[in-house]
Amino acid sequence: MKLGYYPGCALEGSSKDYSMSLERVFKEIGVELEPIQDWNCCGASAAHSTNHKLALALPARNLALAKEQELTELFAPCPFCSKTLINTNQDILDNKYKVENGNYDGKIKVINSVDIFTRLMDKIQPKVNQERLKDLKVACYYGCLLVRPPKLLKYDDPEQPTSMDEVVKKLGAQTVDWEFKIECCGGGFTVCNEDAVLELSNKILEDAQENGAQAIIVACQMCQINLDMRQTAIEKKYNVSYNMPIIYLPQLIGLAMGIEPKELGLNMHFVPTEGVTVQAQNNPV
């Protein structure tokens, strides 16, 4: 099976662990990713914050290229990219935007970073041994753009989403109830507004810990960076201790399949992930 793929910039650079784990898991279940040839950046928050036209034109080029490649479905692991692609599609369908010298019709289906695993569960499940993660309690963190804006994305419940929890439970792990599933971590302000990121991410970590989570599961590289790379700074600023591994959903899937942590990029995190990986490897299966 082949699947259209829009990796997005972060997965080529600072979030290599995310792309590594995705590619490894897809290899395991025999799904071939077909990237858009010569894809470009979707413009991220810089474009939509400062130039509305650009925020449509950049993703539109990618969609038009995907059409040329005859892709009908496109998996975009970054929630920002996938939202931007869906938004561009919608504007094309609503005749609010037209792709220049192209006949792209807005109809390529864009699939987000959780939905893809729900859809592929029949291929994942046979490779998983639920014993591996049976003692692990995790908090599933959805953040902003997997579920918002609900009218555009039409995905899960915008206040109480459960899709990621469902996937995680099928892997054998336990999910905790907590309050911060959809709160913002500070998103793209990692570099230019550090105070905000520390404050918001601290609340997320605090609530996850209070509710007994041993790790937070994410499906967005911005969330991962803010909660993982910034965790030491957060602990220092607020005089707290979390030591909370921030694991990508495909990394957890890989562990449930018995794949080596290194092959999933789990050694590339700032907060050590051994608390999770050792459990997965030592549980008798």
Partner 1 sequence: MKTLRLKNNLQQFVDEIDKISGINLRDCYQCGKCSAGCPMVMQMDYPPSKLIRHIQLGEREQVLTSSTIWVCVSCLTCSTRCPKDVEIAGLMDVCRELSIKEGLATREQRKIQQFHKSFLETIRSNGRLYEVMLIAKYKLRALALFQDVAKTPKMLLTGKLKLLPHKIENVEAINKIFEECDK
Task: Give residues in contact with partner 1 (CB under 8 A).
Answer: 9-10, 12-17, 38-41, 43-54, 57-58, 61, 100, 144-145, 148-150, 158, 182-184, 186-189, 191-196, 199-200, 229, 268, 270
Q: In what order do the strands lie in the sheet with 32-35?
A: 32-35, 2-5, 73-75, 109-111
- Residue 41: which of 2, 9, 78 has the closest Cα? 9
Show the tokens assigned to 69.
Answer: 């490649």
Instruction: Report the nearest approach of partner 1 to the CB of residue 135 (Å).
Output: 28
- Residue 214: which of 125, 109, 135 has the closest Cα? 135
Work out the number of other CB atoms within 10 angstroms of the CB of residue 38.
8
Instruction: Report the nearest approach of partner 1 to the CB of residue 265 (Å).
Output: 9
- Residue 127: which of 232, 256, 218 has the closest Cα? 256
Identity of the residue, 75 or 80, whose beta carbon is nearer to partner 1 in the bound complex: 80
- Between CA 251 and CA 75 the distance in angstroms is 17
Instruction: Report the nearest approach of partner 1 to the CB of residue 145 (Å).
Output: 7
Identity of the residue, 1 or 191, whose beta carbon is nearer to partner 1 in the bound complex: 191
Instruction: Report the nearest approach of partner 1 to the CB of residue 121 (Å).
Output: 28
Identity of the residue, 175 or 224, whose beta carbon is nearer to partner 1 in the bound complex: 224
Identity of the residue, 21 or 214, whose beta carbon is nearer to partner 1 in the bound complex: 21
Helices (H) and strands (E) in the chain, counts: 14, 8
CA angle (160, 139, 208) in 5-degree steps:
100
Identity of the residue, 225 or 252, whose beta carbon is nearer to partner 1 in the bound complex: 225
Instruction: Report the nearest approach of partner 1 to the CB of residue 110 (Å).
Output: 17
- Between CA 251 and CA 118 the distance in angstroms is 15
Instruction: Report the nearest approach of partner 1 to the CB of residue 26 (Å).
Output: 20
Cβ–Cβ under 8 Å, residues 82 and 76: yes
Identity of the residue, 172 or 187, whose beta carbon is nearer to partner 1 in the bound complex: 187
